[in-house]
Chain A
């Protein structure tokens, strides 16, 4: 098995080979391209230097040609520039005479002729206008029979018995038409995967009949199918190992009828025994030439029955020797069947020319001492030796040369002594050509991937509702069902989708948006209509061509909500549609983002800077995910990409006020997206509160928190039960994630009820089974919630969330305190956002008789108070330094309640006292000797409320100590010691606490009570402290030594 050198054709694109189907002419082969050339090859011109005969057809050919006997039919386009008309014709030439005057036009179509076939008496052709036409060539008055099918025609093939014509169409069907009545005898549905339109990258589905017409061979996915005549039942499959998912494109049968050859879209060529279904040989067709190479046609060679002629889309044609001479006895038999047995020696000489010449080359003495000869520096000589000097044979790139690029390596080598060649080779080795790595494919969140095979799919399934698409091509039914989860918003909506074919959709609480993608067929039809209209019209300037991508919007909760439709410009069709409660957004092919109001006003249009991977929107925000940079690798694993989300804030009222020159990014913000190693981004959405969330292909869900870091809230791998199972995300709330568990599929079932699973956010803390972890988790979640409320500047929610956070802190503190983890408890206490819980924690610690912990918590409280005051003071910037000295003095004479009362007359406002106490701790004693200024004057806080009339404040509140100093609890023995050291302290701690905290009154009676209690015995005090330990207050012991 070998390929001959590849010869260049004239043009790129689909090439159609044609041989004489009658078997009469075995000298020539015609190749028709999609430009305007028909090349006539003979045996020599296919394999040697000889050039083929080039036949130019005006004005364009259509890669469709057929030959039977003296008749050659081909599709072409004829333009009359004077009249301005264009004809799509099937040309008929006889005896190889392609003179323009000699070309007859038996058939004419409205659009491009895509397929043609001819036999002794009938010519049949198909076109992009879905029509198949047929006429009898023997009868000059024969009528032209026409049959319109449902899709573009790919191939027409006449039955050898001239009873039927098989027609393959792009919708995956093959129609068998009776030639006499020209009626559809049978339709084989879904024989091969359907596709949109004819293109070089699509399978060409070239069918063939067996020699006796008993079987029809149709290329399909992973195999070639054979259908039995008349019954039209699938009777056999011709398979190729490891090519189950590859589409076969071309089939052809040998003239003896024994062999069936086929080529696939990955350029694999296979030959089977057509009767036994045995695979005889298969070979991969490879080219090193730049550009895309796809085999567009194969035919058994008329020159030798052992060979195939192969034409590809990359201007290449060659011959493939399928069987060696000593292959099998079948070949010998086949030779007998052959009508004209060729001289095998000639063939072998021609077909093995390259290999034989190469062998000779390597035997050549000149090659032995290559470095010493002219060839080492003369590329021309080398080329000549390899027969590369012929420009028509074997493009250099087939052998790994870079054509059109300066060969620097060669130049350097020629200028240097031969001894340094190796060194230079290593120093100036050619860099490896950059590999092409395609970025992850674009996808639409919350929808079933588009698949032509699937009759039903979810265009959108999100937290507002579902949009389903049903297609039944046989019955020509296509509908869209729109259902809101909440029927009170709107009832179900059913739309006929057969005409427009909406493929994109989105649903929100207030609007439903549908959009169709661009359709080439429809564009052609529109052009045709417009051209007709222009022909009739005057000399008006040409109008802009109308697009086929349509946006249809159904407002459901809008004032005077009329449905509206918008046609997008041609070439800028829709690729995704999004809608929120305030806007409808269209993403287009040109990466434009078009924003509409719900009513249909076009608001903004701007262009995204990168390939759009997916997108979502919430209220006036649009988030578009893109791939940033090229792929990267970690430890030689699969390629990975960096993903990024660009968020556009499109506030309809004030978007233009967000200037990017004012130290911000304007209305655009960008954030990187976390994905697991080797995984890709799979889902982007906003939560019901507008938090951005993403999910990777390993089903890890992350939420973008207010501080800006991504928090993992769900790990899908923990809930997946099977390898083939998957999770389909539905939505996210502020505390929950919802998904549908898909068993054995990637998408939810279309039949039956899909029950979303709701899971609370679960941050993957360590040791999840522990109660402590549970509380730590709660604390973290509450902090996140509080962060969100702070970001939103929602005061009311902030208060609630702060309370919830405090509650979580208290619980965790209690847990640690009970577990005798005082250090951890103190750490928790330091996490308190406000002072309020500190007081509770301090009390609780006292209640548990954890003195050290209580002291520590009190200290934390003091520090917190100080830092708060610092912050406040820093903001106010009103802090007379001399007051420090006065405050110090005031503290020093604190013990007696009487002086306290005097001090209180100085306008003892609470905040003011706190400021005093703050500076007490760090005050240098020497400062107290500074000259005393007027106390009244300096102590007055000009910003204090009611400073003037506050002279009757209770003594407790006048102290310079903070509340935590007073709350601090000490054991009884310490208290005793304190009293021993300072017997003059007349205030009973418990009484002070009661006065200050419990009753909080300034009345004289309470003062009396307080003084009375000072006379109580120590035992009584202890008793009281025992009883009221949660709120027990005492003068801090630590303060005493200072005095």
Chain B
């Protein structure tokens, strides 16, 4: 699992688009039907479809509520306040990345949005690294629990997690071999 696959999976998330064309016939996809489309009236489609339509100038993408600047500020504040990871919407980083890349003109104050998303990512990354180092530098326990990890973060931290697993084995072995 890498970032690209995460993004692929995130592409199935539904998002609102405002079509620029009208089509009364629904489109039958494996994952379900989308449409019919009426120009100017929002409808839900998978993100990958939205991006395809956007590239053809057939729609405007409506940003998710949590991607508005005010909401991002709240998320950032929440991330700063919590010792652990704050809860984020599913596929937060993947969706943000896709939309910032392909629907720049539909995002108000896109630079500020990008900056806040980057800040959130950095904060979480720092927390993950710190906790991993803290875990790896001890030999007291072989279990740790970390909630609210995003799929992208999991895939990024795969090497670290492998190391943690090895560490767990070593600690376990140590405990086994240590005479009581």
What is the bound-complex CA distance between A738 and B42, given in angstroms? 10
Interface-centre pick from A485, A730, A751, A758 (highest chain B CB count, 10 A): A485
Task: Evaluate contact between A486 and B61: CB separation under 8 angstroms.
Answer: no
Number of B residues with CB within 8 Å of any CB on chain A:
19
Q: Does A488 contact B (CB under 8 A)?
A: yes
B76 smallest CB distance to A (angstroms): 20
Q: Does B108 contact A (CB under 8 A)?
A: yes
Partner of A756, one of B22, B40, B107: B40
Mask: chain B, 158-169; 1 = CB below 8 Å from A; 0 = not: 000000000000
Task: Evaluate contact between A755 and B18: CB separation under 8 angstroms.
Answer: yes
Task: Evaluate contact between A485 and B40: CB separation under 8 angstroms.
Answer: yes
Task: Evaluate contact between B108 and A749: CB separation under 8 angstroms.
Answer: yes
Partner of B20, one of A463, A486, A755: A486
Task: Evaluate contact between A487 and B41: CB separation under 8 angstroms.
Answer: no
B43 smallest CB distance to A (angstroms): 9
Q: In chain B between 69 and 111, which residues have their CB closer than 8 angstroms to a CB of chain A?
A: 106-109
Task: Evaluate contact between B22 and A753: CB separation under 8 angstroms.
Answer: no
A999 smallest CB distance to B (angstroms): 42
The prevalent SS among residues of A at the interface is: loop
Q: Does B39 contact A (CB under 8 A)?
A: yes
Mask: chain A, 484-526; 1 = CB below 8 Å from B; 0 = not: 1111100000000000000000000000000000000000000
Q: Does A752 contact B (CB under 8 A)?
A: yes
Mask: chain B, 107-133; 1 = CB below 8 Å from A; 0 = not: 111000000000000000000000000
Interface-centre pick from B18, B21, B22, B40 (highest chain A CB count, 10 A): B40
Task: Evaluate contact between B39 and A486: CB separation under 8 angstroms.
Answer: yes
Mask: chain B, 1-37; 1 = CB below 8 Å from A; 0 = not: 0000000000000001010111000000000000000
What is the bound-complex CA distance between A463 and B18, given in angstroms? 13
What is the bound-complex CA distance between A757 and B57, given in angstroms? 22
B15 smallest CB distance to A (angstroms): 11
A509 smallest CB distance to B (angstroms): 11
The prevalent SS among residues of B at the interface is: loop
Number of A residues with CB within 8 Å of any CB on chain B:
17
Residue of B nearest to A736 (CB): B41
Partner of A753, one of B18, B41, B58: B18
Partner of B22, one of A465, A486, A751: A486
Residues of A within 8 A of B61 (CB): 753
Q: Does B63 contact A (CB under 8 A)?
A: yes
Q: Does B62 contact A (CB under 8 A)?
A: yes
Contact status of A753 and B39, CB under 8 A, knowing A486-B20, A487-B20: no
What is the bound-complex CA distance between A463 and B41, given in angstroms? 9
Interface-centre pick from A484, A751, A753, A757 (highest chain B CB count, 10 A): A753
A456 smallest CB distance to B (angstroms): 13
Task: Evaluate contact between B39 and A738: CB separation under 8 angstroms.
Answer: no
Task: Evaluate contact between A758 and B42: CB separation under 8 angstroms.
Answer: yes
Residues of A within 8 A of B39 (CB): 484-488
Residues of B within 8 A of A485 (CB): 18, 20, 39-40
Partner of A488, one of B16, B21, B41, B108: B21
Contact status of A755 and B22, CB under 8 A, knowing A487-B57, A749-B108: no
Residues of B within 8 A of A465 (CB): 40
Contact status of A752 and B108, CB under 8 A, knowing A485-B40, A758-B41: yes
Residue of A nearest to B106 (CB): A753
Residues of A within 8 A of B107 (CB): 752
Residue of A nearest to B61 (CB): A753
B97 smallest CB distance to A (angstroms): 19
Mask: chain A, 723-752; 1 = CB below 8 Å from B; 0 = not: 000000010000000100000000001011
Task: Evaluate contact between B21 and A755: CB separation under 8 angstroms.
Answer: no
Task: Evaluate contact between B21 and A753: CB separation under 8 angstroms.
Answer: no
Task: Evaluate contact between B20 and A753: CB separation under 8 angstroms.
Answer: no
Residue of A nearest to B68 (CB): A752
Task: Evaluate contact between A486 and B108: CB separation under 8 angstroms.
Answer: no
A338 smallest CB distance to B (angstroms): 57
Task: Evaluate contact between A755 and B42: CB separation under 8 angstroms.
Answer: yes
What is the bound-complex CA distance between A488 and B39, given in angstroms? 9
Task: Evaluate contact between B40 and A486: CB separation under 8 angstroms.
Answer: yes
What is the bound-complex CA distance between A488 and B24, given in angstroms? 14
Interface residues of B (CB under 8 A from A): 16, 18, 20-22, 39-42, 57-58, 60-63, 106-109
Interface residues of A (CB under 8 A from B): 463, 465, 484-488, 730, 738, 749, 751-753, 755-758
Known A755-B42, A758-B41; further 14 A-B contacts with Cβ < 8 A: A485-B18, A485-B40, A486-B21, A486-B39, A487-B20, A487-B39, A487-B57, A488-B22, A488-B39, A751-B108, A752-B63, A752-B108, A753-B60, A756-B18
- Can you list 7 residue pairs at the A/B interface with Cβ under 8 Å? A485-B39, A486-B40, A488-B39, A752-B106, A753-B60, A753-B61, A755-B16
Q: List 8 A-B pairs, minimum CB-CB distance, nearest first.
A: A485-B40, A486-B39, A752-B108, A485-B39, A755-B62, A487-B20, A755-B42, A753-B60
